Each structure stands twice: as C-alpha cells, then as structure tokens.
Amino acid sequence: MRFLVPVLVLVGLIVLFAVGLHHDPREVPSPLIGKPAPAFRLPLLGEEKLVSEAELKGRPLLVNFFASWCEGCQVEHPVLMKLAQEQQVEIVGMDYKDALPDITRWLQRHGNPYRKIVLDAQGTAGLDWGVYGVPETFVLNAEGVIVYKQIGPMTEDAWREKIAPLLAGARP
C-alpha cells in the first residue's frame, strides 16, 4: 500500500506531462476573443492627431504589435509585406515600446506594410490588449471584435490555415 500512492502520483504526473506536450505554447487563449478591441487614444506615426479603437471598425483587419528591436518582427515582416502588396487584408501596426527614430529607420530599411501605424511608446495599449511580447497579431471583424490572436511571427501557414479563413467569414 505504501508503494501504491507514489506510483499513482507518478502516473498522474506522466499523464499531465503527456497532455501538456500536445499543446502549442504559441496558442495561449486570449480572454479578449469575442470582445471589442480595447480602448486607446494614441498618436499616429507622422501625424499630429490621436486615434482610437473606433478607427478599427468598419472592415475586417489585422492589428499587428511590432517593434524595430524585435527579432521575430523581422521574421514575419516579409509575410506582412506580401499581404499588403497583394491587398489581401488591411494591416494596422501598433509600434510597441519603440523610439521614433528607430522605427522610422526600420521602416525605411524593410518597407511599410501598414495602412496606419499607432505609436504605443509606453506600452499602455499593449498591456490592455494582453500583449505578452512582440510580435503579436490580432484579427478583428468589421465590428471591431477580436476573433483571433496570433502569438509570435505571422507565417504563411498561419495566414493560410487560420487567419485567411477567419477573414473570409468576416467580410460583409
């Protein structure tokens, strides 16, 4: 009997580890799925005016949190450029905790796939959106409701298998 308890505990741990190995760590469920995009009032790159989450309504789009210092952002950037060039989706950039000269140089060097770039220099919007780290991309429907969250770099596979079908179903 005294050996039965440790064996049962060991079996329980093995089952927990086995279940955990089948989960993708990039698929962290967001509590924001199915809810409107969080409120913000931040400046746009190159403009004096402030924008809010109301600017995100009226059409399905991607909101991509990125930064010039982010290595994963460099990995996903060619995919975003391709999507923008093919006009497959509107992409709004949220420049996260970045210095203005750095992001300007980065965009000049790599190109700009974004329709608009919102400057989140302090990271307040990122915090409200539940951003763990950049890059992260949110898929919004035409009502401004978050329908999906991509953690990590956007890939061709993620676009084709997860995001494009969501956008196809979200078009008016």
- Asked: is 28-170 a CATH 1.10.3720.10 domain? The reply is no
**Which residues are CB-neighbours of 129 under 8 A, at least 6 positions away?**
32, 37, 38, 63, 65, 94, 136, 138
In this model, does residue 19 exceed pLDDT 90?
A: no
Query: Which candidate, 162, 172, 160, places its Cα nearest to that of 33?
Result: 162
**CA gap 85, 2 in Å, rounded:** 67
In this model, does residue 171 exceed pLDDT 70?
A: no
| pTM score above 0.85 | no
What integer pLDDT is reported at residue 94 of this predicted model? 98
Q: How confident is the model at residue 8 (pLDDT cuts 50, 70, 90)?
A: confident
Q: Around Cβ 102, how many Cβ atoms within 10 Å? A: 13
Ranges of each domain in the chain: 28-170
What integer pLDDT is reported at residue 72 of this predicted model? 95
